[in-house]
Amino acid sequence: MRTQIAAANWKMNLSFKEGKQLIDEILMQEPEPAPGKKVVFAVPSLYLRTARKKIKDKPQYDVSAQNIYHKKSGAFTGEISAMMVASLGVGYVVIGHSERREYFNETNSILAEKINLALENNLTPIFCCGEALQTREAGTQNEFVASQLSESLFHLTTEQLLKVVIAYEPIWAIGTGKTATSQQAQEMHKWLRDVLAKKYGQSVADQISILYGGSVKGSNAQEIFSQPDVDGGLVGGASLIADEFLKIIRALK
């Protein structure tokens, strides 16, 4: 079975004290998820080292950066490199989140550079893709997400691709009043896997974990995660509440 992942994306939330308390509470109540399950805390860069220390002896837990810059090093004040993140013992990095694409104008080609740097530094990329409401209403969502994959990932070798986690974000269903059903999530996850299979073969596609990033909550996680091509979630707001995120962790296959 593919690795089932509950990834908590804190975004720009929580004080240092609040973040430590949140991790402590989760670890106290769920100290050792079952083999084949992974819990990842994508925390602000200031908190990476502390979060890494807290999960140091817990192999089913890991820490993720929320972003890296698309250059190795240099005069880029305020940015963080893949090497810097890796030097802290961090295992993952979120790349191409919809907010990064929208607010910071990150293109598929820039994200391809980030993917390369992450892999060069032994970081597991959580590569985000997904369509906005206008694209969904036009009925072109399949072609849109396929282009995101092809332009950012399809230069990779099979060995490299197998180190990537994909997260599908239905941007049209986040904060719009519209709701994505578990069936719609499954349809897109199946499509993404089919796109990967066409390029790399079905056996490779079947090994890639694909997470769902559309307002996962404790109340809907089990239904969403029960879909055959959904391998967990990239969770925003619900990951900031210990009891909610614990429900999500426990809903993993």
Task: Report, as residue numbers or ranges, the catalytic residues.
Answer: 97, 169
Q: What is the DSSP letter of 3?
A: P
Nearest to 131 by CA among 205, 216, 192: 192
- Nearest 10 degrees: Cα torsion 60, 37, 123, 190: -170
* Contact status, residue 114 vs residue 68, Cβ threshold 8 Å: yes
Backbone angles phi, psi at 226, to 5 degrees: -75, -15
Output Rg (C-alpha) for the chain, integer angstroms.
Answer: 17
Determine the Cα–Cα distance for residues 135 and 138; give it in Å rounded to an integer.
5
85, 51 Cβ separation under 8 angstroms:
no
